[in-house]
Chains A and B, each alone.
Chain A
């Protein structure tokens, strides 16, 4: 199928750069363009009565549009919103919207139908010109630059030119520095590594802040936890929660497969893990009490709570950090210490 056409049919490329066809094959024996087809006559061109009828129909659409506009304005008033009544909100949205839709569509259909059925001038021809400027324009452009160069000495005066470029390149540099105060003066990396959890901080319910007793955590339950004191924060509530949110679950002790060095991080089968996904930070909250899987709904990372939350599926790269817990003298669950690693998504300085 792919042989070169015979040499006589191929024009040699004696073209200048702008017209070089490259690997295109230009033949001299191609079929000829038959020219424009005869103009198609519409029924409205041939029959005056049809044209008048079409005119009436188009006007009807425009009239319908007027009705729509008026209806929309009236509907705004006669279908008000009654505070607390969701049905009235819906009605207002629906009636004003439908009125406006009719108003807009009426104009659109009428205008298009007018152009299609009644207007003339559908097959006119306009010649193209090469996109490049004419030879005189190009010559004039070149001369303009050459003249400007002569009069300014731009290419000749290299010291002025080069120092100008240097100055222009240096001018934006302060802008980089000006962005530092977009955020407070603290070190963000240190902030990434600290949470509200330290030794003795009680685990409390989200969002009520009520502390949790170990006896309240039955097998199969899942508690959403924030540190004691979170509820009373004046500032930074969401920022602290975004690092300190914890999920508390109780598994049968014989199903819990713990790291031997961390057996005192749980309390009688009750375990606490950071709720912040190690992938990109969504809350990992879907706890399946029979399979002990934790599923993150954002990108489907799965963690196995029975096996220290190791990643069993999905794009997360690290297990969820575990919060070491125990109980205090009154039986409330408390943290033994803070997290022993940064919570949430990975970052460059994480291991440092």
Chain B
């Protein structure tokens, strides 16, 4: 056997050079795009006045929202009017990535958030300036330091039928669903309760008081901080996942054991 090296292809370039060039090219292009797009959406980080904030918000609104919600937020075929929805709605919808929506429909899915918090605040200020509506609450009402037992009880009566007792989510009619509630920001939970996004009912402060809302948030926080005591929770989906598990892993495993047991020894 002559040389142990594999024969070189013709040319003076190293065979891996092509791959390396490709990788470098991708990094350069991607980096340039990222820099450019940040520049496009980038707004001033610290607006100095409320007016500046509202103005910034209007610019962002016109660029990102007006195509569905109308140039004056009056609504259109593709999206409802935002007049009167308040700053809290914007903070929830945009802050969870639901807005801008990929396509108009009855279920806004959670997606990666497309704006920074200052940008969200700006858009919220703009929408709030159109007409009175629910504003951001006092932070003490979503601090998560309320009565966890009261919160759990309120959750079971008002929320569990759609979101499941452990906040694992559930089905609604015609393909809609109530999403899971794990690892959410408390302000977003508060916002959803007050504004009743899409098909979620409205839980105004006259239905659930701010203290009661804090209790609910406290319960959700408890669920996040205390994993299931019995072990892996199998998605907290109840008997369905437990049944699947026992058939596939339990019985399947024992059948494997039985096959080993009845096999001839070597």
| A206, A283, A297 interface centre (most CB from chain B within 10 Å) | A297
Q: Mark B140-171, 1 if CB is under 8 A from A, else 0.
A: 00000000000001000110011000000011
> Among A219, A222, A249, A291, which residue has its beta carbon within 8 angstroms of that of B173?
A291
Name the CB-closest residue of A to B156: A207
Q: Restricting to A212-237, which residues have a CB under 8 Å from any CB of B?
A: 213, 215-224
Q: What are 6 inter-chain pairs, A to B, with CB distance below 8 A?
A: A42-B265, A86-B229, A117-B265, A221-B201, A285-B161, A286-B172
Q: Mark A46-74, 1 if CB is under 8 A from B, else 0.
A: 00000000000000000000000000000
| Bound form: Cα–Cα A206–B161 in Å | 15
B200 CB–A CB distance under 8 Å: yes
Name the CB-closest residue of B to A218: B204
Query: Across the interface, do B229 and A90 meet the contact criterion of CB distance under 8 Å?
Result: yes
Query: Across the interface, do B196 and A220 meet the contact criterion of CB distance under 8 Å?
Result: yes
Q: Restricting to B212-230, which residues have a CB under 8 Å from any CB of A?
A: 226-230
Query: Across the interface, do B202 and A221 meet the contact criterion of CB distance under 8 Å?
Result: yes
- When distances are taken between beta carbons in the complex, the residues of chain B under 8 Å from A297 are 161, 170-171
> Among B153, B173, B204, B230, which residue has its beta carbon within 8 angstroms of that of A288?
B173
Query: Across the interface, do B229 and A89 meet the contact criterion of CB distance under 8 Å?
Result: yes
- When distances are taken between beta carbons in the complex, the residues of chain A under 8 Å from B261 are 112, 116
A28 CB–B CB distance under 8 Å: no
> Among A90, A217, A286, A287, which residue has its beta carbon within 8 angstroms of that of B231?
A90
Q: Restricting to A289-326, which residues have a CB under 8 Å from any CB of B?
A: 289-291, 293, 295, 297, 302, 313
- When distances are taken between beta carbons in the complex, the residues of chain A under 8 Å from B207 are 216-218, 221, 223
Q: How many B residues face the partner with a CB closer than 8 A?
A: 34
Query: Across the interface, do B202 and A289 meet the contact criterion of CB distance under 8 Å?
Result: yes
> Among B106, B173, B198, B228, which residue has its beta carbon within 8 angstroms of that of A295?
B173
Query: Across the interface, do A224 and B162 meet the contact criterion of CB distance under 8 Å?
Result: no
- When distances are taken between beta carbons in the complex, the residues of chain B under 8 Å from A94 are 231
Q: Mark A163-195, 1 if CB is under 8 A from B, else 0.
A: 000000000000000000000000000000000
Query: Across the interface, do B206 and A218 meet the contact criterion of CB distance under 8 Å?
Result: yes
- When distances are taken between beta carbons in the complex, the residues of chain B under 8 Å from A40 are 264
| Bound form: Cα–Cα A302–B263 in Å | 54
Q: How far is the CB of A305 from chain B (nearest CB, A)?
A: 11
Query: Across the interface, do A221 and B204 meet the contact criterion of CB distance under 8 Å?
Result: yes
| Bound form: Cα–Cα A297–B157 in Å | 14
Query: Across the interface, do B196 and A221 meet the contact criterion of CB distance under 8 Å?
Result: yes
- When distances are taken between beta carbons in the complex, the residues of chain A under 8 Å from B264 are 40, 42, 116
Q: Restricting to B56-88, which residues have a CB under 8 Å from any CB of A?
A: none
A44 CB–B CB distance under 8 Å: yes
B37 CB–A CB distance under 8 Å: no
Q: With A43-B266, A44-B265 as known contacts, state yes or no: A289 contacts B158, CB within 8 Å.
A: no
Query: Across the interface, do B162 and A286 meet the contact criterion of CB distance under 8 Å?
Result: yes
Query: Across the interface, do A290 and B106 meet the contact criterion of CB distance under 8 Å?
Result: yes
A198 CB–B CB distance under 8 Å: no
Query: Across the interface, do B196 and A289 meet the contact criterion of CB distance under 8 Å?
Result: yes
Q: How far is the CB of A334 from chain B (nearest CB, A)?
A: 18
Which B residues form the contact surface with A (CB < 8 A)?
106, 153, 157-158, 161-162, 170-174, 176, 196, 198-204, 206-207, 226-231, 260-261, 263-266
| Bound form: Cα–Cα A290–B107 in Å | 11
Query: Across the interface, do A224 and B173 meet the contact criterion of CB distance under 8 Å?
Result: no
Name the CB-closest residue of A to B200: A289
Given A86-B226, A216-B206, A297-B170, 9 new contacts (CB under 8 A): A87-B226, A220-B196, A220-B202, A222-B158, A223-B207, A286-B161, A289-B196, A290-B199, A295-B172
- When distances are taken between beta carbons in the complex, the residues of chain A under 8 Å from B202 are 218-221, 289
A93 CB–B CB distance under 8 Å: yes
| Bound form: Cα–Cα A86–B233 in Å | 14
| Bound form: Cα–Cα A295–B162 in Å | 9
- When distances are taken between beta carbons in the complex, the residues of chain B under 8 Å from A222 are 158, 201
Name the CB-closest residue of B to A222: B201
Q: With A221-B207, A313-B173 as known contacts, state yes or no: A90 contacts B227, CB within 8 Å.
A: yes
Query: Across the interface, do B172 and A288 meet the contact criterion of CB distance under 8 Å?
Result: yes
Q: How far is the CB of B219 from chain A (nearest CB, A)?
A: 14
Q: How far is the CB of B154 from chain A (nearest CB, A)?
A: 9
Query: Across the interface, do A293 and B201 meet the contact criterion of CB distance under 8 Å?
Result: no
- When distances are taken between beta carbons in the complex, the residues of chain A under 8 Å from B161 are 283, 285-286, 297
| Bound form: Cα–Cα A187–B227 in Å | 48
- Counting from the closest, the 10 A-B pairs by CB-CB distance are A216-B206, A285-B161, A288-B199, A222-B201, A220-B202, A116-B265, A89-B229, A86-B226, A117-B265, A221-B202
Query: Across the interface, do A293 and B266 meet the contact criterion of CB distance under 8 Å?
Result: no
Q: How far is the CB of B147 from chain A (nearest CB, A)?
A: 13
Query: Across the interface, do B172 and A224 meet the contact criterion of CB distance under 8 Å?
Result: no
- When distances are taken between beta carbons in the complex, the residues of chain A under 8 Å from B157 are 206-207, 224
Query: Across the interface, do A289 and B201 meet the contact criterion of CB distance under 8 Å?
Result: yes
- When distances are taken between beta carbons in the complex, the residues of chain A under 8 Å from B198 are 290
- When distances are taken between beta carbons in the complex, the residues of chain A under 8 Å from B172 are 286, 288, 293, 295
| Bound form: Cα–Cα A116–B202 in Å | 67
Q: With A43-B266, A289-B196, A297-B161 as known contacts, state yes or no: A220 contacts B153, CB within 8 Å.
A: no
Name the CB-closest residue of A to B174: A291
| Bound form: Cα–Cα A87–B226 in Å | 7
- When distances are taken between beta carbons in the complex, the residues of chain A under 8 Å from B260 are 112
